[in-house]
Structure 1
Amino acid sequence: MTRAATTDAAEATDGAEAAEGALLLRVLSAFLREDVVGLRTRSTTVDREDGRWLRLPLPLPLPVGEDVAALLLPVAEDGFQGEYAARVPLLVKEPDGTELTGCDAILTALTALSDPLDRPGFEAFAEECRQTLATMRLHDRTAAEVFDDLTARYGADPADWTGPAASLAHDTLAARLDHPVYPTARGRSGLDDAQLRAYAPEFHPRFGLRWLAVPRGALTIPGGPAMLPASWPSPADLGLPELAASHLALPVHPLTLGAPLRDALRETGLEGTAVLADGPYLEAVPTLSMRTVGLVGEAHLHLKLPLATATLGLRNRRTIDPLTLVHGAAGQRLLEAVTGREPRFKDAILHADETVYAHAGHELLAVLCRRYPAGLDRAVVLPLAALLSTAPGGRLVIDHLADRFHDGDPVALLDAFLTLLFDWQTTLYGYGIALASHQQNVSLVLDRTPEDGLTRLRLLFKDDDSPRLNVPRLRRTLGAEADGLLAGFQDPRMFGEDYRAVTDMLTTITLHLCAGSYAFGLAEHGRIASPEAVLGLVRERLTEAAERLGTGSGQPGAVLRERVLDAAELPVKAMVTAGTLLTKERSGASDVNTHYTTGPNYLRRRARDLR
Structure 2
Amino acid sequence: MTTTAQAAPAAPALADTTEAELLLRVLGALLREDVVGLRTRTTPVDRADGRWLRLPAEDGDALLLPVAEDGYQSVHAARLPLLVRESDGRELTTHDEVLDALGALADPVDRGGFDAFAEECRQTLATMRLHSRTRDEAAATLTAAHGAEPADWTGLAGGLAYDTLAARLDHPVYPTARGRSGLDEDQLHAYAPEFHPHFALRWIAVPRQDLTVAGGPDALPALWPTPAALGLPALDHSHLALPVHPLTVGAPLDEALHAAGLTGRAVLAERPYLDVVPTLSMRTVSVTDDPTLHIKVPMATATLGLRNRRVIRPGFLADGVAGQRLVEAVVAREPRFQGVVLHADETVYAHAGHELLAALCRRHPAGLEDAVVTPLAALLAEAPGGRLLIDHLADRFYGGDPLALLGAYLRLLLDWQTTLFGYGIALESHQQNISLVLDRGPAGDTRLRLLFKDDDGPRVHAARVRATLGADAPLGFDDPRAFSEDDRPLTDLFTTITLHLCAGSYAFGLARHGRADARVLLDLVRDRLAEAAERLGTAPGEPGAVLRAHVLDAPQLPVKAMVTAGTLLSKERSGAADINKHYTTGPNYLLRQEGSP
Q: TM-score range by the shorter chain?
A: over 0.9
Distance in 1 separating the partners of 2:311 and 2:118: 23
Question: Residue type of the partner of 1:513?
Answer: L
Distance in 2 separating the partners of 1:313 and 1:565: 30
Question: In the alignment, what sits opposite 1:457?
Answer: 448
Distance in 1 separating the partners of 2:66 and 2:511: 21
Asked if 2 retains the 8 angstrom alpha-carbon contact of 1:13 and 1:88, the reply is: no
Question: In the alignment, what sits opposite 1:326?
Answer: 318
Instruction: Give runs of ≥4 in structure 1 deviating > 3 Å.
Output: none
Which residue, out of 108, 111, 115, partners 1:123?
A: 115
Distance in 1 separating the partners of 2:32 and 2:502: 19
Question: Residue type of the partner of 1:33?
Answer: R
Distance in 2 separating the partners of 1:459 and 1:339: 13
Question: In the alignment, what sits opposite 1:542?
Answer: 529
Q: How many residues matched?
A: 588
Which residue, out of 543, 555, 558, partners 1:556?
A: 543
Q: Secondary structure at the match of 1:481?
A: coil
Question: In the alignment, what sits opposite 1:14?
Answer: 13
Distance in 2 separating the partners of 1:267 and 1:411: 53
Question: In the alignment, what sits opposite 1:5?
Answer: none
Mean CA deviation greater in 46-55 or 131-140: 46-55
1:95 positional shift: 2.9
Question: In the alignment, what sits opposite 2:3?
Answer: none
Question: In the alignment, what sits opposite 1:45?
Answer: 44
Distance in 1 separating the partners of 2:256 and 2:407: 47
Alignment of 1:379-394 (within 5 A): 379-394=371-386
Q: Are residue 256 (structure 1) and residue 248 (structure 2) matched?
A: yes
Q: Secondary structure at the match of 2:213?
A: coil
* RMSD value, Cα: 1.1
Question: In the alignment, what sits opposite 1:8?
Answer: none
Question: In the alignment, what sits opposite 2:5?
Answer: none
1:98 positional shift: 1.4
Question: Residue type of the partner of 1:73?
Answer: L
Question: In the alignment, what sits opposite 1:518?
Answer: 506
Instruction: Output one character per residue of 1:234-267: Cα deviation in whole Å (capped at 9) or x when no partner.
Output: 0111111111111110000000000000001111
Question: Residue type of the partner of 1:300?
Answer: T
Question: In the alignment, what sits opposite 1:583?
Answer: 570
Question: In the alignment, what sits opposite 1:55?
Answer: 54
Instruction: Output one character per residue of 1:99-150: Cα deviation in whole Å (capped at 9) or x when no partner.
Output: 1111111111111111100011110000000000000000000000010111
Is there any run of 5+ residues in structure 2 with no aligned partner, and where? 1-9
Which residue, out of 84, 95, 115, partners 2:87?
A: 95
Distance in 1 separating the partners of 2:192 and 2:116: 22
Question: Residue type of the partner of 1:335?
Answer: V
Classify 1:228/1:582 alpha carbon distance in 2 versus 1 (closer, same or farther; 3 Å). same
Distance in 2 separating the partners of 1:318 and 1:176: 19
Question: Residue type of the partner of 2:45?
Answer: V
Distance in 2 separating the partners of 1:131 and 1:344: 46
Q: Are residue 408 (structure 1) and residue 400 (structure 2) matched?
A: yes
Instruction: Output one character per residue of 1:124-179: Cα deviation in whole Å (capped at 9) or x when no partner.
Output: 00000000000000000000001011111111111000000110000000000000
Classify 1:82/1:16 alpha carbon distance in 2 versus 1 (closer, same or farther; 3 Å). farther
Asked if 1 retains the 8 angstrom alpha-carbon contact of 2:155 and 2:368, the reply is: yes
Q: Secondary structure at the match of 2:432?
A: coil
Alignment of 1:438-457 (within 5 A): 438-449=430-441, 451-457=442-448
Asked if 1 retains the 8 angstrom alpha-carbon contact of 2:257 and 2:266, the reply is: yes
Distance in 1 separating the partners of 2:535 and 2:593: 26
Question: In the alignment, what sits opposite 1:6?
Answer: none
Question: In the alignment, what sits opposite 1:533?
Answer: 520
Q: Secondary structure at the match of 2:106?
A: coil
1:405 positional shift: 0.3
Distance in 1 separating the partners of 2:123 and 2:164: 19
So what's the TM-score if we normalise by structure 1? Answer: 0.95
Question: In the alignment, what sits opposite 2:469?
Answer: 478
Distance in 2 separating the partners of 1:235 and 1:25: 51
Question: In the alignment, what sits opposite 2:148?
Answer: 156
Q: Are residue 499 (structure 1) and residue 487 (structure 2) matched?
A: yes
Asked if 1 retains the 8 angstrom alpha-carbon contact of 2:316 and 2:478, the reply is: no
Is there any run of 5+ residues in structure 1 with no aligned partner, and where? 1-10, 63-67
Asked if 2 retains the 8 angstrom alpha-carbon contact of 1:16 and 1:102, the reply is: no
Which residue, out of 570, 574, 577, partners 2:561?
A: 574
Distance in 2 separating the partners of 1:578 and 1:158: 37
Q: Are residue 28 (structure 1) and residue 30 (structure 2) matched?
A: no
Distance in 2 separating the partners of 1:354 and 1:457: 23
Question: In the alignment, what sits opposite 1:360?
Answer: 352
Question: Residue type of the partner of 2:106?
Answer: S
Question: Residue type of the partner of 1:101?
Answer: T
Instruction: Output one character per residue of 1:274-293: Cα deviation in whole Å (capped at 9) or x when no partner.
Output: 11111211111000000000
Asked if 2 retains the 8 angstrom alpha-carbon contact of 1:12 and 1:21, the reply is: no
Asked if 1 retains the 8 angstrom alpha-carbon contact of 2:168 and 2:194, the reply is: yes
Distance in 2 separating the partners of 1:177 and 1:281: 31
Asked if 2 retains the 8 angstrom alpha-carbon contact of 1:306 and 1:365, the reply is: yes
**Percent of aligned positions with the same letter in both sequences?**
71
Distance in 2 separating the partners of 1:574 and 1:16: 31
Q: Are residue 429 (structure 1) and residue 421 (structure 2) matched?
A: yes
Question: In the alignment, what sits opposite 1:7?
Answer: none
Asked if 2 retains the 8 angstrom alpha-carbon contact of 1:286 and 1:293, the reply is: yes
Asked if 2 retains the 8 angstrom alpha-carbon contact of 1:284 and 1:295, the reply is: yes
Distance in 1 separating the partners of 2:114 and 2:34: 14
Q: Secondary structure at the match of 2:527?
A: helix
Question: In the alignment, what sits opposite 1:223?
Answer: 215
Distance in 2 separating the partners of 1:205 and 1:131: 21
1:12 positional shift: 5.9
Question: In the alignment, what sits opposite 2:579?
Answer: 592
Question: In the alignment, what sits opposite 1:3?
Answer: none
Instruction: Output one character per residue of 1:291-349: Cα deviation in whole Å (capped at 9) or x when no partner.
Output: 00001111000000000000000000000001000001111111111111111100110
1:479 positional shift: 1.6
Distance in 1 separating the partners of 2:147 and 2:519: 35
Q: Secondary structure at the match of 1:294?
A: strand
Distance in 1 separating the partners of 2:119 and 2:464: 44
Q: Are residue 489 (structure 1) and residue 477 (structure 2) matched?
A: yes
Question: Residue type of the partner of 2:460?
Answer: L
Q: Secondary structure at the match of 2:52?
A: strand
Distance in 2 separating the partners of 1:16 and 1:594: 38
Distance in 1 separating the partners of 2:61 and 2:112: 25
Asked if 2 retains the 8 angstrom alpha-carbon contact of 1:432 and 1:473, the reply is: yes
Asked if 1 retains the 8 angstrom alpha-carbon contact of 2:565 and 2:579, the reply is: yes
Mean CA deviation greater in 381-390 or 101-110: 101-110
Question: Residue type of the partner of 2:276?
Answer: A
Which residue, out of 330, 345, 359, partners 1:338?
A: 330
Q: Secondary structure at the match of 1:122?
A: helix
Distance in 2 separating the partners of 1:494 and 1:252: 29
